[in-house]
Amino acid sequence: MIRNIRRLGKTYRNVNRFREILGVFVKHGFGDLSDILHLDKYLDLGTKYFRLPPRTASAHVTRPERFRTALEELGPTFIKLGQMVGNRPDLLAPEWAAELEKLQDAVPPFPSAEAKAVVAAQFGKPVETLFRSFGELPIASASMAQVYKAELLSGEKVAVKVQRPGIEDLVKVDLEIIFHLAFLLEKYVQGMDILNPMAICEEFERTIVKELDFSLEASQMERFAQASADLAIFYVPKVHRAFTSRMVLTIEFIDGFKVSNLESIRHAGMDPSRIAGDLSQVLMHQVFNQGFFHADPHPGNILVMPDRTICFLDYGMVGSLSPTHRDRLLDILVGVADQDAGRIAKTLIQLAYQPSDIVEDLEYQVSGLLEAYSFVTLKDFRIGEFLNRLIRLIISNRLRMPPGFYLMLKAVVTLEGVSRRLDPGFDMVESIKPFAKKAMRERLRPDRLAKDMYFGAMDLTPMLKEFPAQARDILGLIKRGKLRIEFQHQGLEPILKTHERMMTRMVFALVLASLIIGSSLVVLSGIPPKWYGIPVIGVAGFLSAAFVGFWLLVSIILRKGSWK
């Protein structure tokens, strides 16, 4: 999906927004962006139209910090983009990823009258007829929505999440501009095609479009509630579908303590170390049993209810793992427990769908990583630190993992940090063990093995049926001498073009030399007709040679020395 770059100039609003984006980046020390991406050439947005702020940057602030500040200033679309990219360590250096983790999504609230107007427009009735009471001030405000405490006519306390007016139009404009910038990055920045910015933008577009539809978030919550029904320590707020739409989400209001509020948790008579264990159990249940998980379990998204039940909030970011990916994850965990570098290396290559010719080198690197932890006791083993080092190893070997795999690793690392704040002696490995063992037993169950063999045989059957006919066709071609093997060369086009250009110039050079020599012979022989005693044919030959020589020289200069 490559948008037409010229579309930016079709509306004043898009051009004005682009000016704002470019101006913010210039203000924060990224003035070279315009030069690198040739924006004046493609978007006609040079100083002829805009007066950009001076290219300044604070010397004591790092480049990643300035980039984060620029994204925060540009608003919700760019904040969400930074958060998504920050969750992909395969795309950014560690210092950049760490800085993007600090992105703040809190902004000043919009007027409550506008929020009530959105609710009324969505349900066709005034707020006063829909709710017994509706808060005059929001209890939380973010870039894309804000939340109000309200009471239904039935008396139930609810939290009403209302989308910020105009946010959808702003996101559409910003997405257009982001796609243009990604296209220019691929075109002008060498090596950027490896990261595939256009594919990243497409993934981001799918994510943010889903976040703008609150009815999808409601469906995610109901999905989690159904899958976690047998998990007593976890609770998902009830969704009120009658008061939920694309721009409004109404859920049960939950009284509880932020997981970061240790003082209140202790004052309520709860043991923080038990809560730490419960948190890890919830995430492991989601990863191993459900196959989909809350991908952003930071302290602001976790409440502890008075009965010690864990409640996750904001289900806008959810990760998923296929059964195959869960099996691969289990193989990695078993490899870590057994110090089996070969198993880990082969599993990573299978996850990345890479050729196996790098397995020995990767196994050597994994062995070095495991050796660094070989004398560390399980109590002191930091799985977050280990996973971060494993991610850097994956990136250095250019292995492309499924996005859900990175989200899962990020969720584990984040939750381990939260759990260690609750209990400094928390052991994440011990909490993973029961789930890993259960998953291994499930894999080795006779009915599971029989099922895998059955489906494997089903996949193999069509191939076996077709093999005799295909073998007969191939033997027939060989017998008739009509078997052809085609080879496709890749990467030869530039060489062929250069060769063709050189041959063309060589031919012109030979023609030029022939004209000069032939004209010289005509002049010396004195063949009529003559002009001022000089043969006309010879003069014409010299003029033709001069024209050909001048054209050849100009073509070489315009190619900037590509004849060398």
Q: What is the pLDDT of residue 49?
A: 43
Coil, helix or strand at residue 320: strand
User: 331: burial class by Cβ within 10 Å (0-12, 13-18, 19+)?
Assistant: buried
Average pLDDT, the chain: 79
Q: What is the pLDDT of residues 20-55, one digit of tens each?
A: 888 888 888 887 777 777 776 544 444 444 444 554
Query: Which of residues 189 and 236 earns the better pLDDT score?
Result: 236
pLDDT at residue 9 is higher than 60 = no
Considering 127-131, 337-341, 483-487, the range whose residues carry the highest mean pLDDT is: 127-131
Identify which of 180, 165, 155, 233 has the alpha carbon closest to the alpha carbon of residue 6: 180
Farthest CA pair distance, the chain: 119
Q: What is the pLDDT of residue 311?
A: 94
Residues contacting 343, CB < 8 A, separation 6+: 331, 332, 334, 335
Judge contact between 297 and 283, C-beta under 8 A: yes
Please list the residues that pair with 145 across neighbouring strands. 163
How far apart, in whole angstroms, are the C-alpha atoms of residue 281 and residue 208?
29
Query: Which of residues 470 and 377 earns the better pLDDT score?
Result: 470
Phi, psi of 220 (to 5 degrees): -65, -40
How far apart, in whole angstroms, are the C-alpha atoms of residue 28 and residue 17?
17
How far apart, in whole angstroms, are the C-alpha atoms of residue 196 and residue 177?
17
Identify which of 66, 75, 103, 68 has the alpha carbon closest to the alpha carbon of residue 296: 103
Least confident segment among 42-51, 151-160, 245-254: 42-51
Q: What is the pLDDT of residue 457?
A: 66
Q: How many CA atoms lie within 13 A of 366 on its CB side?
A: 25
Coil, helix or strand at residue 4: coil
Q: What is the pLDDT of residues 348-357, one digit of tens each?
A: 887 776 665 6
Query: Which of residues 156 and 407 earns the better pLDDT score?
Result: 156
Amino acid at position 143, single letter:
S
pLDDT at residue 118 is higher than 80 = yes
Q: What is the pLDDT of residue 379?
A: 62
**CB neighbours of residue 555 within 10 Å:** 15
How far apart, in whole angstroms, are the C-alpha atoms of residue 305 and residue 173?
41
Q: What is the pLDDT of residue 310?
A: 94
Query: Which of residues 504 and 11 earns the better pLDDT score?
Result: 504
Q: Beta strand pairing status for 530-531 and 534-535?
A: antiparallel
Q: What is the pLDDT of residue 123?
A: 94
Q: What is the pLDDT of residue 219?
A: 93
What band does 158 get if pLDDT is binned at 50, 70 and 90?
Answer: very high
**CB neighbours of residue 230 within 10 Å:** 8
Residue 294 CA: distances (Å) to CA of 78, 81, 329, 408: 22, 18, 17, 9
Q: What is the pLDDT of residue 282?
A: 92
What band does 127 get if pLDDT is binned at 50, 70 and 90?
Answer: very high
Identify which of 117, 27, 110 has the alpha carbon closest to the alpha carbon of residue 74: 27
**CB neighbours of residue 158 within 10 Å:** 22
Give the rounded percent of residues in the chain with a pLDDT score beyond 90. 20
Q: What is the pLDDT of residues 498-521, one digit of tens each?
A: 777 777 777 777 777 777 787 777
The CA-CA-CA angle for residues 187, 190, 194, to 5°, reads: 85
Residue 534 CA: distances (Å) to CA of 26, 401, 512, 527, 547: 67, 78, 20, 9, 20
What band does 233 get if pLDDT is binned at 50, 70 and 90?
Answer: very high
Q: What is the pLDDT of residues 290-338, one digit of tens each?
A: 888 888 888 888 999 999 999 998 888 888 888 888 888 888 877 776 7
Residues contacting 50, CB < 8 A, separation 6+: 19, 22, 23
pLDDT at residue 163 is higher than 90 = yes
What band does 343 get if pLDDT is binned at 50, 70 and 90?
Answer: confident
Upstream peptide bond of 529 is cis (omega within 30 degrees of 0): yes
CA torsion through residues 331, 333, 335, 338, sign:
negative
pLDDT at residue 91 is higher than 90 = no
Query: With b meaning 16 or more CB within 10 Å and e meaning fewer, what string describes 339-361?
Result: ebbebbbbbbbebbebeeebbee
Q: What is the pLDDT of residue 211?
A: 86
Q: What is the pLDDT of residue 223?
A: 93
How far apart, in whole angstroms, are the C-alpha atoms of residue 181 and residue 43?
11
Q: What is the pLDDT of residue 509?
A: 76
Active site (catalytic) residues: 296
Coil, helix or strand at residue 216: helix
Helix, strand, coil share of the chain (percent; to 5): 60, 10, 30
What band does 89 get if pLDDT is binned at 50, 70 and 90?
Answer: low
Identify which of 378, 394, 403 has the alpha carbon closest to the alpha carbon of residue 318: 403
Q: What is the pLDDT of residue 214?
A: 93
Q: What is the pLDDT of residue 438?
A: 79
Residues contacting 457, CB < 8 A, separation 6+: none
Phi, psi of 274 (to 5 degrees): -70, -35
Judge contact between 319 and 286, C-beta under 8 A: no
Identify which of 54, 38, 343, 403 has the alpha carbon closest to the alpha carbon of residue 207: 403
Q: What is the pLDDT of residue 2?
A: 39
What band does 199 get if pLDDT is binned at 50, 70 and 90?
Answer: confident
